[in-house]
A and B are shown apart, each in its own frame.
Chain A
Amino acid sequence: MMTTAKTSGVVMLALLSTTVALAEDNPASKRTFSSGYRFVEMTGEELFANVCQGCHMPDALGASGAGTYPSLAANKNLESPGYPIGLIVNGRRGMPPFGDMMTDGQVAAVVNYVRTHFGNNFTDAVTARDVQDVRR
């Protein structure tokens, strides 16, 4: 059954006002959130705080339950930079690979950050080029 078509100038009223000012003390306004699959954080410090510390914890000491997230603090395995680069790009065991979610520059930045913080003092900085080599 067809209904008689009526046209109308009535526009559906917006039910909601959506301009919500984010309070300055709120994490939603303080923290960085990515909009897609890839991370938008660029500095090593921010990448660590927004990604790595989810498992390795804010103090980088890791954590243990039925299994363990290893501590990154004063960690001799970080001496050779290829090791953390490979882990971040390719993942290992339960650790997800981040190669598709971070650029070479981002991986280098977070590797440099971890290797010079949390009781680590490896001053030979890595570059995006080093990451690129691991991807091959």
Chain B
Amino acid sequence: MDNEPNLRRRDLLALIGTVAGSSAMYHAMTSLGFASESAYRGPVKLEGNAKGASVLILGAGLAGMTAALELRKAGYKVQILEFNSRAGGRNWTIRGGDVVTELGGFKQKCEFEQGLYINPGPWRIPYHHRALLDYCRRLNVTLEPFIQLNHNAYLHAARAFDGKPQRIRSVKADFQGGVSELLARVTQQGKLDETVSKEDQEILLQSLRAWGALDRDHKYNANLISAEFRGYARDPGGGLTADPLPSEPVGLSEILRSRLWRYLQAFARYNFQTTMFQPVGGMDAIGKAFAREVGEVIRYNARVTQIQQNGSGVTVSYVDAAKPSIVQQATADWCICTIPLSILSQLPLDVSGPMKNAIEAVPYAGSVKIGLQFKRRFWEEDEAIYGGISFTDLPIRQIAYPNYGFNRSGRGILLGAYLFEGANSYEFTAMSPAERVASAVEFGAMIHPQYKHEFENGVAVAWHRVPFTLGCSGEWSDAARTQHYRNLCQIDGRIVLAGEHASDLPAWQEGAILSALDAIGRLHERVVKT
């Protein structure tokens, strides 16, 4: 960029540090959002001699491949055993031609048009996931925006507004407008006199007028002030039809009873704030980028059957998917195990009682995603919805619009359902893939009637039926985390665990990477010392 600000932030910090000392600098850094934002401390530096030690890594997901990449760089001999025939684990993208076989033998062949895809696992990256973003930069993974909040997407409740979906912008404007009008009235009636000073009341009224789009009488009405937020009945135009017409707000009572307000705050949560990202072409670009670096040390199609250790090393038994009767063994000085706990808890494993108890204490969340291909991008053509997510209380819960290929003619893919925990995720898991797709179409048509004519085919992934995870992610209860988390993360003899389940960012890729970096840091310290 040519337009560097005259005083860059780093220079400003240096200046503050010089003038006021380091505690002032830390305070400034924190208030500039610099110091306390992420647990990531930049590229890991494993200093000291690895002494040719060998590390066997179980699982070629993001945790396993992060560990492999960094340990190899530090001089370790590294080998990975991977259950699947591809790298990435839950970092996964499904495209046309892919065959998805789930537990129980249910088989789907994805019929998507070339270039279209669905990310059945992780699909968005928050701006504060600095470790993942750093690896994307270092591994040349091109990112594009993931649109979390689209004001023109819908909020929908089956029993509100006669089942008609409402634009997010109008629900937001009407909720803020109604609440602001109410609070302004209470303020003007003097009911806040005991708690808010006169001077602050004046400022409060000003802010309510701005925040709630109120008129000069502090009323929320159909006019061009509120229309600027909730949208127009007729947009401003040109020539002789230029006059905009305001739209009619919905009253506070109806908004409250619709319960649609409950979705609004979700957009403000730290994990879902803008800017979010997705890799261009599919989330698996990240897994593939890691595999370009460490692919040659991955042994694919290897199902681990036993993990043993003694004072001198680790021995892992595994079978090849094609020859399951022949048990093979891999040995190393150390082992980093990223196998999901849903599977690890079933394996014979030489670790201490406390770690074993921790491994057995974490159930796995149910989650379902359903991708649907349509003949045309009607959500854009008919409804001007470009990316983002509509929320509903129907069992599909969400419809997410593609954040790529905007305004193109031809086919497109919707995420037609995204369930995470709750009864519906189990109910959808219990269906056959074809039933899941048919249900998603049926429910989705209540929000987008175009489904009926435009739907072509779909693919459904229920994570409890995914052979390589048996669930979506580690579902820690607060009690289990208090009792078991530290025991799970300790180095036990020559074995240490990593993965999203060994992080406080469950189900996020950042958690997998941070857990791997933490584990290899501690492992390396031990190797260097011994």
Residues of A within 8 A of B (CB): 2-20, 22-23, 26-29, 31-40, 49-55, 57-58, 63-69, 91-97, 101
Contacts and interface: CB of A to CB of B under 8 A. Distances in A.
B222 interface: yes
B426 A37 contact: no
B155 interface: no
A16 B448 contact: yes
B366 A27 contact: no
Interface stretch (B199-207, B341-349, B369-377, B513-521): B341-349
A66 B443 contact: no
A92 B222 contact: no
B266 interface: no
A11 B248 contact: yes
B343 A67 contact: yes
Contacts of A4: 224
Contacts of A26: 438-439, 442
B163 A19 contact: yes
A50 B231 CA distance: 42
Interface string B233-256: 110000000000111100000000
Interface string B425-447: 01101110001001100110111
Given A7-B221, A67-B470, A18 B426 contact: no
Contacts of B39: none
Interface residues of B, number: 72
14 contacts: A3-B228, A7-B221, A12-B231, A12-B233, A16-B165, A18-B164, A28-B438, A31-B439, A50-B427, A52-B430, A67-B346, A67-B347, A68-B346, A69-B103
A93 B431 CA distance: 23
A9 to B, nearest CB: 8
Nearest to B468: A66
B467 interface: yes
Given A18-B449, A67-B342, A10 B234 contact: yes
Contacts of B449: 16-18, 20
Contacts of B258: none
A33 B427 CA distance: 7
A38 B426 CA distance: 11
B443 A96 contact: no
Given A33-B427, A50-B430, A66-B343, 15 more contacts: A2-B225, A3-B228, A7-B246, A8-B248, A10-B234, A18-B449, A20-B446, A20-B449, A28-B442, A31-B439, A34-B427, A66-B339, A66-B468, A92-B360, A94-B471
B427 A10 contact: no
Contacts of A49: 430
Contacts of B471: 94, 96
B233 A51 contact: no
B103 A63 contact: yes
Interface in B327-375: 339-343, 345-347, 360, 362-366
A91 B366 contact: no
A26 B444 CA distance: 13
B423 interface: yes
A93 B228 contact: no
Nearest to A91: B363
Contacts of B303: 66
Contacts of B164: 14, 16, 18
Contacts of A39: 423, 426
A36 B103 contact: no
Nearest to B246: A8
Given A3-B224, A16-B449, A66-B83, A54 B165 contact: no
A6 B426 contact: no
A36 B245 contact: no
Given A8-B246, A14-B164, A66-B470, A51 B426 contact: yes
Contacts of A51: 426-427, 430
User: Which among A34, A39, A66 has the greatest number of chain B C-beta atoms within 10 A?
Assistant: A66
Interface string B449-468: 10010000000001011111
Contact of B475 (A2, A22, A96): A96
Nearest to B59: A66
A9 B54 CA distance: 76
Contacts of A9: 248
Contact of A96 (B364, B430, B452): B364
A67 B395 CA distance: 29
Contact of A7 (B83, B222, B304): B222
A39 B430 CA distance: 13
Nearest to A95: B363
B487 interface: no
B293 interface: no
Contact of A12 (B247, B364, B439): B247
Which 6 pairs across A and B sit closest by C-beta, in order of nearness? A65-B467, A94-B342, A54-B429, A28-B442, A67-B343, A34-B423
